[in-house]
Amino acid sequence: MDPPTPVSDEAWPAPAVTGRPVEQAPPPDPRADLRADCGRCAALCCVGPAFVASADFAIDKPAGRPCPNLLDDLRCGIHDDLRGRGFPGCAVFDCFGAGQQVVQVAFAGRGWREDAATASAMFDVFTVMRQLRELLWYLVEAHSLVPPGPLRDAVERWQERIERLSLGGPAEVERIDARALRQEVGTLLSSVSDAFRAGSHAAGPDRRGQDLIEADLRAVDLRGASLRGAYLLGADLRGADLRWADLLGADLRVADLRGADLTKSIFLTRPQVQAARGDTSTGIPPWLVRPAHWPAGPTTVSRRSRSRPAAGPPAAGGSPGPR
């Protein structure tokens, strides 16, 4: 038998060189689990919270009673026209993934229709869980705002702690003092905001908690400003520069954001954006989705045509955030 013929390197064709870089998979989205997945929930937001007839809800609904628009298959019968039917509060609401966390993890796939005791416990857990998931949303962003060091270490410790708490069973979650957690995390987020705005960019004006209802802030330079907890209901922010501004808990209901730049605003959430007015000229951070009710093109409007929103707390989804 003849010996095998040795195979030289030249026997193998050289790989084609295209000159194009190898495409890499995008990094995982750290907020993926903090977005609502209604298919894995049980319409908890349509049953648990109370509705008060107002600009946000067309009807009164007591807590724990299913909304009359809820169908037997747990879908909303007017989901495609919530605003037109008088339920903008539902369009604004965001559970930050609490719904699927409660149903699939805390209650291991059970639903609220099984018995009254389960329903009551599930709604109580949902109230706490939503606050935990919202805190995680803020902490994910806080982690990206500060360099390695003591402040980021503190953020990571709180992320780990709240993740553990959100994995608890119904009794464990119900015992959580969510208010105390919000206060503690709020203090940390304030430190993160101050360090980020002072270190990366010149800190802007401090307007935290101020009453700016219907304020004329057109084209105002608010870069690096602290608007934490500010009341901006119906404020005219057309063309304002809000890059690096801290908007945690700011009430943006009916605020006019057309032409405003919020692309680098910090601690901005979907409920805030959904509650505001904007259009294609409004810049928002890439991890938020442009609201479907915003006009497809730039528009103009007279200030006198703006209606003053009703005073009161934000809609069900417009949490004021930790302060």
Tokens of 163: 């993740």
Handedness of CA 155, 156, 160, 161 (dihedral sign): negative
What are the two backbone dihedrals, phi and then psi, of residue 256, each rounded to the nearest 5 degrees?
A: -90, 105
- Report how far residue 259's alpha carbon sits from residue 121's, in angstroms, rounded to the nearest whole number: 45
Question: What is the amino acid identity at position 229?
Answer: G
**At 13, is the pLDDT very low, low, confident or very high (cuts 50, 70, 90)?**
very low
Instruction: Tell me: pLDDT of 222 over 60.
Output: yes
Residue 199, pLDDT score: 80
Q: Reduce the DSSP state of residue 172 to 3 states and report it.
A: helix
Beta-ladder partners of 206: 226
Ordered structural domains, the chain, with CATH: 32-200 (no CATH), 202-323 (2.160.20.80)
Section 75-86 average pLDDT = 94
Residue 34 pLDDT greater than 90, yes or no: yes
| Rounded CA separation 282/290 (Å) | 9
pLDDT at 297: 74
Q: Enter the pTM of the model.
A: 0.84
In the chain, helix, strand, coil percent, each to 5?
A: 35, 5, 60
For residue 143, give the H/E element and its range: helix 116-145
> What is the average per-residue pLDDT within 262-285?
97
Q: What is the pLDDT of residue 175?
A: 97
- In the chain, pLDDT over 70 holds for what percent of residues? 83
Q: Is the pLDDT of residue 212 over 60?
A: yes
At residue 303, the pLDDT reads: 46
Q: Which residues contact 69 (CB under 8 A, 6 or more apart)?
A: 46, 76, 77, 78, 85, 87
Give the model's pLDDT for residue 309: 43
Residue 127: predicted pLDDT: 97
Q: What is the pLDDT of residues 174-201, one digit of tens each?
A: 999 999 999 999 999 999 999 999 986 6
Residue 29 CA: distances (Å) to CA of 4, 52, 94: 53, 36, 18
Residue 319 banded pLDDT, cuts 50, 70, 90: low
Per-residue model confidence as pLDDT tens digits over 53-72: 999 999 999 999 999 999 99
Residue 67 near residue 46, CB atoms below 8 Å: yes
C-alpha closest to that of 85 among 95, 76, 94, 72? 76
Please answer whether residues 97 and 29 qualify as being in contact, where contact means their C-beta atoms are separated by less than 8 angstroms: no
Tens-place pLDDT, residues 230-247: 999 999 999 999 999 999
pLDDT digits (tens, 9 = 90+) for 135-159: 999 999 999 999 999 999 999 999 9
What residue type is 255 in one-letter code?
A
The residue that leads in pLDDT, 300 or 284, is: 284
For residues 64 and 134, what is the distance between their CA atoms, to the nearest angstrom? 22
